[in-house]
C-alpha cells in the first residue's frame, strides 16, 4: 500500500516546498528543521493506523476513559539523512525503541555503485510495528537492504516506510521485492525521473549533504 501525503493541501507541502527550494535549502539548520517537521507529520499520520486501548485517567474533577497507544513502534532510520526525520518521529513517539542502519553507495570501476550496509543497531523486532525513515527512495535498493538487515533482528508484524521523496522506479522496486512483507509505504511526493547517478529529478539534491555538509 502506498500513501501519498503531498496530494492533499496541508502544511506538509509547505515544508516540502522549502526543502526543494534551491535558495531556502542553503540554510542547513532550516533544512534539518523541515526534515524534522515532516517526520512529525509522518508520525501523526501513521498513529491513526496503530492499535489503541482505553485507559482511565483521573483529572482534578473526576475520571474518564481515553484512548492511548497500546504499543509504541520501533523507529529506525538510515544514516545520515534519516536522522532529522527520526528525531521528528521520536518527538511524537517519545517512548519508542530505536534502531539505526548505516547504508551508503559504493562506486565501482564501471561508473555504477553498489549499496553497502556496514552497521546496524536494533532491538528485537519480533511481533513489533517498525517504522523505517529515510529522506529519499531513489532506486529502492537501499531501503530493501535496510529492511532485510533489520528483519534479521526479528520479523516485525507490520512495517511503515517513510520517504519524503520517491521515484517511480523506487516505489516499483519496493513493491516487487517486498511484496510478501506487510508494508505500508508513506511518501511525500513521487517524481518521474532518475539521473544516471540515481538522483531523483526534480528531487531536492543530496539530503545528507544539505543537512550535515558535504562528504568525501
H/E stretch holding 108 reads none
Using CA atoms in the order 50, 78, 81, 194, what is the torsion angle rounded to 10 degrees?
Answer: -100
Distances from the Cα of 40 to the Cαs of 55, 56, 65, 133, 152, in angstroms?
Answer: 24, 27, 26, 12, 27
Q: Which has more confidence, 105 or 81?
A: 81
Q: Residue 127 region, left (φ>0) first, then alpha (ψ -120 to 50), else beta?
A: left
Residue 160 has pLDDT above 70, yes or no: yes
pTM for the predicted model, two decimal places: 0.92
CB 148 within 8 A of CB 122: no
**Distance between CA 187 and CA 166 in Å, rounded?**
7
CB neighbours of residue 180 within 10 Å = 6
CB 137 within 8 A of CB 143: yes
Q: What is the pLDDT of residues 27-71, one digit of tens each?
A: 999 999 999 999 999 999 999 999 999 999 999 999 999 999 999
Q: What is the pLDDT of residues 176-190, one digit of tens each?
A: 999 999 999 999 999
**Distance between CA 188 and CA 199 in Å, rounded?**
16
CB 147 within 8 A of CB 181: yes
Average pLDDT over residues 87-103: 96
CB 157 within 8 A of CB 127: yes
**Residue ranges per domain, the chain?**
2-212
**Distance between CA 165 and CA 182 in Å, rounded?**
21
What CATH class is the domain 2-212? alpha beta
CB neighbours of residue 44 within 10 Å = 12
Beta-sheet strand order (sheet of 183-191) = 2-4, 183-191, 158-167, 129-137, 74-79, 97-107, 113-121
Amino acid at each position: 500500500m502506498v500513501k501519498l501525503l503531498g496530494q492533499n493541501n496541508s502544511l506538509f507541502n509547505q515544508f516540502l516546498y522549502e526543502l526543494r527550494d534551491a535558495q531556502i535549502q542553503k540554510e542547513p539548520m532550516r533544512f534539518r528543521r523541515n526534515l524534522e517537521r515532516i517526520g512529525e507529520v509522518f508520525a501523526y499520520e501513521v498513529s491513526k493506523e496503530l492499535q489503541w486501548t482505553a485507559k482511565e485517567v483521573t483529572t482534578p474533577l473526576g475520571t474518564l476513559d481515553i484512548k492511548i497507544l497500546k504499543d509504541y513502534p520501533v523507529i529506525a532510520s538510515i544514516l545520515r539523512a534519516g536522522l532529522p526525520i527520526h528525531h521528528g518521529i521520536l518527538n511524537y513517539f517519545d517512548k519508542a525503541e530505536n534502531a539505526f542502519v548505516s547504508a551508503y553507495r559504493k562506486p565501482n570501476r564501471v561508473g555504477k555503485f553498489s549499496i553497502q550496509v556496514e552497521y546496524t543497531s536494533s532491538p528485537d523486532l519480533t511481533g513489533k510495528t517498525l517504522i523505517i525513515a529515510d529522506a529519499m527512495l531513489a532506486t529502492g535498493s537501499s531501503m530493501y537492504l535496510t529492511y532485510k538487515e533489520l528483519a534479521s533482528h526479528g520479523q516485525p508484524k507490520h512495517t511503515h516506510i517513510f520517504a519524503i521523496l520517491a521515484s517511480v522506479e523506487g516505489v516499483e522496486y519496493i513493491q516487487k521485492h517486498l511484496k510478501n512483507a506487510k508494508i505500508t509505504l508513506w511518501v511525500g511526493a513521487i517524481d518521474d525521473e532518475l539521473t544516471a547517478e540515481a538522483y531523483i529529478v526534480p528531487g531536492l539534491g543530496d539530503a545528507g549533504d544539505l543537512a550535515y555538509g558535504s562528504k568525501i
